[in-house]
Amino acid sequence: MIALAGTIGAGKTSLTKLLSDHLNSQPFYESVDDNKILPLFYKDPKKYGFLLQIYFLNRRIDEIKDSFNNDLNVLDRSIFEDALLFKLNADMGRATETESNIYSSLLRNMMEELPAQGHQKAPNLLITIQISFDTMLKRIKKRGRSYEQIANDPSLYDYYKNLNQRYAKWYQDYDASPKMLINGDKYDFVEDPSAARQVLAQIDQKLESLGLK
């Protein structure tokens, strides 16, 4: 199992497709366009923040279970970064500390309930895509989801900036599995085929060093 991580607009979905095609494995995509809770969260984070996190937790547990059956399946978001996102919401007043603590406890309990024998709960490799704050804002604007736009909600500027900063610290502290960092500013694999080839080569090298390819 390979899991991708990164802030909004990092290119997780694009790299998931590139990598799963490259490895001839199955991709698992985060539910966004069919997520009816997400637009409600952006309108009223305090009301829908906890519900959204439970929705994502349920989906990611299902994805981890589904990925047990095949080698090197690619998940376009890691379950391990969900606590980071919800803690940010709590710190910014978008959720309560009690909700954050309950969520963290539930996450630990659900991970413990996953079957352990013959299965690895953490990914074989975590790939984090790191982009600058400016790149993040440009990509959010370009993909055009109305509820993500700062023009519609100026408070999102501080939320996005804080989120991008916390991801750097989160990656440094992550120790649940082998990991690697992709520079999403230097390698624009979404738009540049040459950059995509270079990124895939870097991942191949990492997988080979881990004995996974």
Q: Is 140 annotated as a binding residue?
A: yes
Q: Is 100 annotated as a binding residue?
A: no
Q: Is 46 annotated as a binding residue?
A: no
Q: Is 112 annotated as a binding residue?
A: no
76 is a catalytic site residue: yes
Q: Is 49 annotated as a binding residue?
A: no
Q: Is 99 annotated as a binding residue?
A: no
State the Cα–Cα distance between residues 62 and 80, nearest whole angstrom: 14
Q: Is 142 annotated as a binding residue?
A: yes
Q: Is 60 annotated as a binding residue?
A: no
Alpha carbons within 13 angstroms on the beta-carbon side of residue 38 total 11
Q: Is 179 annotated as a binding residue?
A: no
Contact indicator for 179, 126 with CB cutoff of 8 Å: yes
Give the chain's radius of gyration (CA, Å).
17
Q: Is 53 annotated as a binding residue?
A: yes
Q: Is 17 annotated as a binding residue?
A: no
Catalytic entry in 44, 62, 76, 188: 76
- Residue ranges of the binding site for ATP: 6-14, 139-143
* Residues belonging to the active site: 76
- Residue ranges of the binding site for substrate: 30, 42, 53, 77, 82, 148
- Residue ranges of the binding site: 6-14, 30, 42, 53, 77, 82, 139-143, 148
